[in-house]
Amino acid sequence: MAARPRKTVRRKALRLACWNAGGVRGMKLQLEQFLSQHGVDICLLCETFLKPHEALRLANYVCHHTDRPTTGGGTAILVRRGIVQNSLPVPGLTHLEVTAVQVTLAGRPVKILAAYL
């Protein structure tokens, strides 16, 4: 009896995108279309211009964001629902704006950061 070849397990590739938004409020529809069209799993955003009381809500994504207390700037990370994720604190930065998350991929934790200077 001949040995059978092992079945290879194909993992889905993770799709990342980086977007300098220049303000996300007016670009929500365009951003949703881009994420959907390209099958993006995680999107790093900078210059979100979100205020601390605002939230960015997109279908099928969880938004983690860090806002600048003054006008402009800000970073965010959009993570597709279904990916195990946690926000991470990034203390002690004075000039660099950072949003950090930890996602679990193939059973291993991976830290992802969106930064803006």
For 58-79, what is the mean pLDDT? 88
Under a CB-based contact definition with an 8 Å cutoff, are residues 62 and 85 in contact? yes
Q: Is residue 95 part of a domain?
A: yes
Confidence of residue 3 (pLDDT cuts 50, 70, 90): low
Confidence of residue 96 (pLDDT cuts 50, 70, 90): confident
Q: Is residue 45 part of a domain?
A: yes
The count of domains in the chain is 1
Q: Is residue 79 part of a domain?
A: yes
Residue 60, domain CATH: 3.60.10.10
Q: Is residue 9 part of a domain?
A: no
What is the reported pTM? 0.85
Q: Is residue 2 part of a domain?
A: no
For 84-107, what is the mean pLDDT? 90
In order, the DSSP letters of the chain are -PPPPPPPPPPPPPPEEEEE-S-SGGGHHHHHHHHHHHT-SEEEEE-----TT-----TTEEEEEE--SSSS--EEEEEETTS-EEEE---S-SS-EEEEEEEEETTEEEEEEEEE-
Predicted confidence at residue 67, as pLDDT, reads 81
Mean of all residue pLDDT scores within the chain: 86
Encode pLDDT of 39-60 as tens digits: 999 999 998 988 878 888 998 9
Domain that residue 76 falls in: 16-116
